[in-house]
A and B are shown apart, each in its own frame.
Chain A
Amino acid sequence: NAGVTQTPKFRILKIGQSMTLQCTQDMNHNYMYWYRQDPGMGLKLIYYSVGAGITDKGEVPNGYNVSRSTTEDFPLRLELAAPSQTSVYFCASSYAVTGAGELFFGEGSRLTVL
């Protein structure tokens, strides 16, 4: 199993550009999450999904959109990129085992907006 795969690993955007961060998992996990981590800070939840077709906002959803059309994929869309979105983005997934399921994280996507 590849686990959780994120692409791209690095990207530089200009202010106002848009892009999609891709996340895919091959573990048949129901639950998927997007977090961002600013330098020296903890993880902030952007969006999460408890299954295909279902998404919910996390702590910091503004400026982002998500979709979950399949169990495997959970792309994160940035519209009109701003310097405040410069961060490292982590995707995670989990099997729905009544709170006991562990989170599996991808390696991260480092985004810089100039």
Chain B
Amino acid sequence: DAKTTQPNSMESNEEEPVHLPCNHSTISGTDYIHWYRQLPSQGPEYVIHGLTSNVNNRMASLAIAEDRKSSTLILHRATLRDAAVYYCILRDVIERDDKIIFGKGTRLHILP
């Protein structure tokens, strides 16, 4: 089973910020938090990842709770091209058994 839980769907208006939550209450100290997104009819693509500190890149920001049991992907200014399914997954830093399990993700709808 997936180690993360996400809302099934969310809706946002174009050009507004979007906050996508992810719960991972059983996260271990060696798990990285990764986010991927899947545009319609495409394979998933990497968005961002982090371990403990908040992270920023050109696509998004990742806010990680202090206890690491939840995180939030932030799209600062949503566009119609951001409509996709967003997946939050955990990846163990040890990697001896790198069984990467995806949950159902959050389907993000962007309203023009």
- Inter-subunit contact A45/B100 (CB<8 Å): yes
* Nearest B residue (CB) for A105: B43
- Inter-subunit contact A103/B44 (CB<8 Å): yes
* Nearest B residue (CB) for A44: B102
Most chain A CB atoms below 10 A, which of B30, B43, B46, B105: B43
Supposing A98-B93, A99-B94 touch, asked if A56 and B99 sit within 8 A by C-beta, the answer is yes
Across-interface contacts of A42 in B (CB, < 8 A): 2, 85, 87, 102-105
- Inter-subunit contact A98/B99 (CB<8 Å): no
Query: Does A114 have its Cβ within 8 Å of any Cβ on chain B?
Result: no
- Inter-subunit contact A58/B99 (CB<8 Å): yes
Chain B interface mostly: loop
| A22 CB → nearest B CB, Å | 15
From 16 to 66 in chain A, residues with beta carbon under 8 angstroms from any chain B beta carbon are 31, 33, 35, 41-45, 48, 50, 56, 58-59
* Nearest A residue (CB) for B102: A43
Query: Does B80 have its Cβ within 8 Å of any Cβ on chain A?
Result: no
State how many residues of chain A have any CB contact under 8 Å with chain B.
27
Query: Does B68 have its Cβ within 8 Å of any Cβ on chain A?
Result: no
From 82 to 114 in chain A, residues with beta carbon under 8 angstroms from any chain B beta carbon are 90, 92, 94, 96, 98-100, 102-108
Q: List, sorted by A's number, 30 A–B pairs whose CB atoms are closer than 8 Å.
A: A31-B98, A41-B104, A42-B85, A42-B103, A42-B105, A43-B44, A43-B102, A45-B99, A45-B100, A45-B101, A48-B98, A50-B95, A50-B96, A50-B98, A58-B99, A94-B98, A98-B94, A98-B95, A99-B92, A99-B93, A99-B94, A100-B32, A100-B93, A102-B49, A103-B36, A103-B44, A103-B46, A104-B46, A105-B44, A107-B43
B interface residue numbers (CB < 8 A to A): 2, 30-32, 34, 36, 42-46, 49, 51, 85, 87, 91-105
**Which 7 pairs show the lowest CB-CB distances between chains A and B?**
A105-B43, A99-B93, A102-B46, A43-B102, A42-B104, A99-B32, A99-B91
A interface residue numbers (CB < 8 A to B): 31, 33, 35, 41-45, 48, 50, 56, 58-59, 90, 92, 94, 96, 98-100, 102-108
